[in-house]
Amino acid sequence: MTGAGWIRDQSVRIGTWLGEREPVVLLSAFLVIAGILSFIEIADSVREGETTHFDAWAVRSLRKPDDPAVPIGPRWLHEMGRDATALGGIGWLVSFTLVVAGYLWLAGKSHMATLLMVSSTSGTALAFGLKSLFDRPRPDVVPHLAHVSSSSFPSAHSMMSAIVYTTLGVLVASVVARRRLKAYILSLSLLLTVVVGLSRIYLGVHYPTDVLAGWMAGLVWALLCWLIARWLQRLGTVERAE
């Protein structure tokens, strides 16, 4: 087949894929645009100092009025907060990614495993790039209950969790045929993302706007990865659902 013929063939395939998936593609594209605009809006508000009062109030409201070093809630909730935030750490995210990639590889879906690794790695690099770009100081209204050494905006734990867990969820769901199983995988990935983000606020190491921005950026990345995966599946480059 000539070069021009191959290009025409691929164009037809892409057009067919868009036609078959038009509602889902349009919804995903809308969410990507909405996520990008939301991130820009939050970042602009943070730069202008419009969220300072709310952020400080939200973080302070999660501590005892007479002792800002002690978070509200029972002792077991304090421990759960520390456990939950560990789920967004580099070590756990890398381990979880390798476990899922290994499963996909053993299941005969090596191309999807490779796409998963590339998506997670590049997304994590993006998270740290954005963090260094904005360089927002950490909350100083309460003592930190977790060790931190980098800037605050966006929350790397929240963004990496959204990138890794949601990307894992949408990519794994794309190779699973049963809808109930798809819904379970996606719900679990979103739950982990939310729990990690909330734990960062509870421990006093991030403002709510840091976490929201991280969630928005992570969601956008995960949706882009899903769209790429669906397109590659249509082209036959990546394995389909069974």
- Chain segment 110-127, per-residue pLDDT in tens: 888 888 888 888 888 888
Q: Is residue 161 part of a domain?
A: yes
Residue 14: pLDDT band by 50, 70, 90 thresholds? very low
pTM listed for this prediction = 0.79
Q: Tell me the mean pLDDT in the region 22-50.
A: 84
For position 198, what pLDDT does the model report? Answer: 92
Instruction: Determine, yes or no, domain membership for 209.
Output: yes
Q: What is the pLDDT of residue 211?
A: 93
Whether 5 maps to a domain, the answer reads: no
In the prediction, which pLDDT does 12 show? 45
Structural contact between residues 14 and 170, judged by C-beta atoms closer than 8 angstroms: no
Mark whether 157 is an active-site residue.
Answer: yes
66-90 pLDDT, tens digit per residue, is: 888 888 888 888 888 888 888 888 8
Q: In this structure, what token pair is assigned to residue 120?
A: 């997670």
Bigger pLDDT: 54 or 135?
A: 54
- 65 occurs within a structural domain: yes
Those residues whose C-beta lies under 8 Å from the C-beta of residue 92, and which sit 6 or more positions away, are 86
In a domain, 242, yes or no: no
pLDDT at 2: 52
Is residue 7's pLDDT more than 50?
no
Query: Which pLDDT does position 18 carry in this prediction?
Result: 45
Mean of all residue pLDDT scores within the chain: 81
The span from the CA of 209 to the CA of 215, in Å, is 10
Please compute the mean of the pLDDT values over residues 32-53 and round it to a whole number. Answer: 89
Q: Which range among 17-21, 42-46, 167-171, 238-242 shows the weakest confidence by mean pLDDT?
A: 17-21
199-238 pLDDT tens trace:
999 988 899 999 999 999 988 888 888 788 777 777 776 6
Q: What total number of domains does the chain contain?
A: 1
pLDDT at residue 20 is higher than 80: no
Beta strands in the chain, from DSSP E residues, in sequence order: 63-64, 67-71
**171: containing domain:** 10-235
Separation of alpha carbons 182 and 187, rounded Å: 9
Cβ 115 vs Cβ 225: under 8 Å: yes
Active site residue 144: no
Look at residue 168 and tell me whether its pLDDT is greater than 80.
Answer: no
Nearest to 124 by CA among 88, 163, 96: 163
Q: Is residue 241 part of a domain?
A: no
Selected residue with higher pLDDT from 233 and 156: 156
Q: Check residue 154 and give its pLDDT.
A: 84
Q: Which of 25-39, 168-182, 213-227 has the lowest mean pLDDT?
A: 168-182
* Per-residue pLDDT, 21: 52
- Per-residue model confidence (pLDDT) at position 241: 56
> Residue 111 domain-assigned?
yes
Q: Which of 234, 183, 173 is nearest to 20 (CA)?
A: 234
Cβ atoms 135, 189 nearer than 8 A = no
